Structure formats: structure tokens, C-alpha cells
Amino acid sequence: MREFSTLEQRLLNDFQHGLPLTPRPFADIARQLGVYETTVLETLQRLHTEGVISRVGAVFHPNRIGASTLAAMAVPEAELEAVADKISRFAEVNHNYEREHEFNLWFVVVAEDEDRLQQVLREIEDCCGYPLLDLPLENEFFIDLGFDLKWT
């Protein structure tokens, strides 16, 4: 990991919430940080290009928009990459990770409603040839204050 400048650290840590809903939000951020608007924009663009930030935008609560679930599949190691690739091709799949467990492939499926979600889950099972666990969110026990990055 490269070193981050003080400006980068503050942009990454302090602005995970509450982006200003004003015509020039990056100018407002710049004012708070005592730098130029163009510096904020250039820095965010660089962090985005490097993949340090995925976007400046929204993270939705699961299930507030459309229907979603966390799914898991147990796939033989030799087939894992091919099966993961098939699953990733579904537009309804976003996160798709390998985890160290008998259930070694974990992915999030989002659709416009519950019927469509169930239809997509069946399509994924048919396409991959393995059953999946459908583990929808039932309760959330967590107040998201943003992840506090430790720079030391």
C-alpha cells in the first residue's frame, strides 16, 4: 500500500457520509479542508483511478430498493473459477467472493422484486449445476458510522 497524503486521508476518512447536496459539493468539501476545489476533484479522480475508492455516491440499505439476498454455493475447487465467472455474468450479481469454507463462493443478488430475485436464483442454480443457499437479510444490528481508517 502506498502512503496517503493528509488530504487523501481526510477525504477517505471524513467524507464517507453526508456528501453535501449543494450545486458544488466538492467546493464545500474544499472549504472545509482549506484547499482548492480543483485539488479535491483531482485527488478524488486519482483515488478512483487507482481503485482506492469505488465511487463517490450512495450505498443503499439491503432490501430498501428492490429485493436482495446473500447466496452461497459449495463448488469443487477445480471448477471454482469457471463457476464464479458464470455467476459474475449475471447483471443481478454484484459482490462475488471466494471464501475459505466448504461453501466457498459467496455472492449478493439484487433484483427489482422478490419474484424476479427467486427467478434469478433458479437461473443461477440451473446455469452452474450446484444448489445455493439463499440467506436474505432478516434484521440489521448495526449503526453504520463509516469505517474508521487507522493510518498508523
Q: How far is the CB of 96 from another protein (least distance, A)?
A: 4
**Binding to another protein (CB under 8 A): which residues in 7-46?**
11-12, 15-19, 21-27, 37, 41, 44-45
Residues 7, 28, 35, 116: which binds another protein (CB under 8 A)?
A: 116
Q: How far is the CB of 144 from another protein (least distance, A)?
A: 5
Alpha-carbon distance of 63 to 137, in angstroms, equals 8
The cell numbers describing 26, all together, are 466538492
Q: How far is the CB of 135 from another protein (least distance, A)?
A: 4
Angle at alpha carbon of residue 65, lines to 56 and 95, rounded to 5°: 60
Distances (CA, A) of 11 to 26, 35, 55, 85, 139: 11, 12, 12, 34, 31
Residues 6, 34, 76, 99: which binds another protein (CB under 8 A)?
A: 99
34 or 111: CB nearest another protein:
111
**Binding to another protein (CB under 8 A): which residues in 46-85?**
48, 50-62, 64-66, 68, 70, 72, 84-85
**Binding to another protein (CB under 8 A): which residues in 121-150?**
123, 127, 133-149
6 or 147: CB nearest another protein:
147
94 binds another protein per the rule CB under 8 A: yes
Instruction: Scan for cell 459539493, then name that residue.
Output: 25
The cell numbers describing 97, all together, are 467472493
Amino acid at 129: G
**What is the DSSP code (8-state) at residue 61?**
P
Angle at alpha carbon of residue 97, lines to 91 and 103, rounded to 5°: 110
